[in-house]
Amino acid sequence: MDKGLQRKLKACSDLPSLPAAAARVIELAENPAASMADISQAVSLDPALATKLMRIANSPLYARSRQIGNLDMAVMMLGLNATIMLALSFSLSASMRRSREGGMDYSLFWRRSLLAATAARVIAGKRPDVPVEDAFLASMLRDIGLVALDKVQPGAAAAQQDGHENGQLEIGVWLLDQWHFPLHLLNAIQDSGHCDDLGRSAAEDDLARCVALSRLIADFFMAHDMGEHLGKVRAFATRHWSLDNVWVGEVLGAVAKEVPQIEELFELDLIDVQSLDGLMTQAKELMMVRSLHTAQVLESNREESRKMARKAQLLEEKANRDHLTGLWNRAYLDTSIKTLFEQSETDRQPMSVIFLDLDHFKQINDRHGHQTGDEALEHVAQILLDNTRSYDVVSRYGGEEFVIIMPGMDCDLATRVANRLVSSLRKSPLATDSGEKVTITASAGVATHNDKHDFDNPEGLMRAADQVMYVAKTSGRNRFVVYSKCI
């Protein structure tokens, strides 16, 4: 705080002072040995304060099934901390509202302070680590520095009251420190002016943010431009607590419901009923519009993400496909066989590989041309796909060689598939544009892991299938050979 301003404040004989009952309550609050009876006795010295505590104990804010009949019961029901905080709230409010000097609008000041306190009470009820009464009192006294500033610089107090500066916080903390207020309340008020990277405990940070948000909500209830202030409330809740429109709407509705009770207890009109109803109706409409907009933005983002994911998937798949046949390419085969081999080992399930090579394919190219050769490869690829399962890995290994990985398939079943493939190729000649039919045959080798034979690695399994494919070639072609029957 500016040293000159601090000297003026210290020299001012008319600064706000604590009522006797409030001073005694703070003194007891600092004493760990203070009892409920001590607090009750201190409060009883101020009949008006005692009456208010009785009223709040029996109010809907602290609804109980049984009627509270005396001050001792009220203090017992509210609890030590709540009694202290509520006593200070009532006492200070009653004392300082009597002041009407200076340039500040005291009616506006207390309306905003009590609306903020009401909002803080609601917010704290939704934040399990924030004591409700601490939040109420800290929010009510957040701008108490304006009252002190009004005594020495009335114009400055009026200007800050109309704006959104936080210069009064330092003065308020200084004044409350003179009154020996608890340190955690001073920290919450000071920190409420800058809620990023507070560096205290999670509970202390939450209390400070509760105080800051409550002021924004109070401004919302008092504003002509409701939309702008609602946006600030929502932005704060999202930024600091990742909370959505639903949470904000629930808080605003709960504050509106508590306003009449707070008005009655503190004997001050905060906002007229008609304005409050209209305000909440508009708020609900704005929240609905914002929610719909948010939902549309989220759905748009999700759809864009889905499109990007599909595009990435298509690009990845394209990179893994053989450009001519559309089958998986060699790179994808090498990756897949390792993954499926490991899965076969883990699950102790069989896995078969068919290595297939077209017979005399060079003669097809030489006799009919490379275009017909390409058509023959596409023709073969379709026959392979038609005779295998959708989750088998059917790939073009290179040139006229093809490899099929069949997870979960034992040797007997793989033998049947190989027989069907060789037979289907032989029985399905390629019809050329000239009307000539080109017969295509193939030699195939079959090897199975975790059935009749175990292999140390996927490379060994592939070599076995390749080896017996060459056995089929040298045995006359247009046939298949099974590895387990050759060793």
Q: How confident is the model at residue 158 (pLDDT cuts 50, 70, 90)?
A: confident
Which tens digits make up the pLDDT trace of 443-478?
999 999 988 789 999 999 999 999 999 999 999 999
> What pLDDT is recorded for position 487?
47
Q: Please state, rounded to an integer, the average pLDDT across all residues of the chain.
A: 84
Higher pLDDT, 162 or 107: 107
Q: Which long-range contacts (CB under 8 A, 24 or more apart) does 374-377 make?
A: 374/324, 375/430, 375/432, 376/430, 376/438, 376/440, 377/324, 377/325
Can you give the residue ranges of every domain in the chain?
3-16+99-297, 330-485
What amino acid is encoded at 172 in this protein?
Answer: G
- With CA atoms as reference, report the closest residue to 487 among 405, 421, 413, 411: 411
- Which secondary-structure segment (H or E) carries 360? none
> What pLDDT is recorded for position 486?
47
Superfamily of domain 3-16+99-297: Hypothetical protein af1432 (1.10.3210.10)
Longest dimension (CA), the chain: 117
Instruction: Map tokens 């909002």 to a residue.
Output: 119
pLDDT at 358 over 90: yes
Q: How confident is the model at residue 35 (pLDDT cuts 50, 70, 90)?
A: confident
Higher pLDDT, 122 or 30: 122
Q: Which residues contact 26 (CB under 8 A, 6 or more apart)?
A: 18, 84, 88, 179, 180, 181
> What pLDDT is recorded for position 404?
97
What are the beta bridge partners of residue 431? 437
> What pLDDT is recorded for position 221?
86
Which of 81-85, 210-214, 277-281 has the lowest average pLDDT? Answer: 277-281
> What pLDDT is recorded for position 66?
66
Q: Which residues contact 210 (CB under 8 A, 6 or more apart)?
A: 120, 123, 124, 127, 130, 135, 139, 188
Q: Which residue blocks in 45-166 are alpha helix, DSSP H? A: 47-57, 71-78, 80-96, 106-125, 132-140, 145-152, 154-162
Which of 21-25, 298-302, 334-338, 483-487 has the lowest average pLDDT? Answer: 483-487
pLDDT at 295 over 70: no
Query: Residue 300 corresponds to which tokens in the numbers above?
Result: 């748009």
Of 3.40.50.1980, 3.30.110.60, 3.30.70.270, 3.40.50.740, the CATH number of 330-485 is 3.30.70.270
Which tens digits make up the pLDDT trace of 223-272?
776 677 888 888 999 999 998 878 888 888 888 888 888 888 777 787 76
The pTM for the full model equals 0.55
- Which of 154-168, 207-221, 225-239, 246-260: highest mean pLDDT? 207-221
**Pairing of the two strands 442-449 and 480-482:** parallel
CA–CA dist 140, 266 (Å, integer): 12
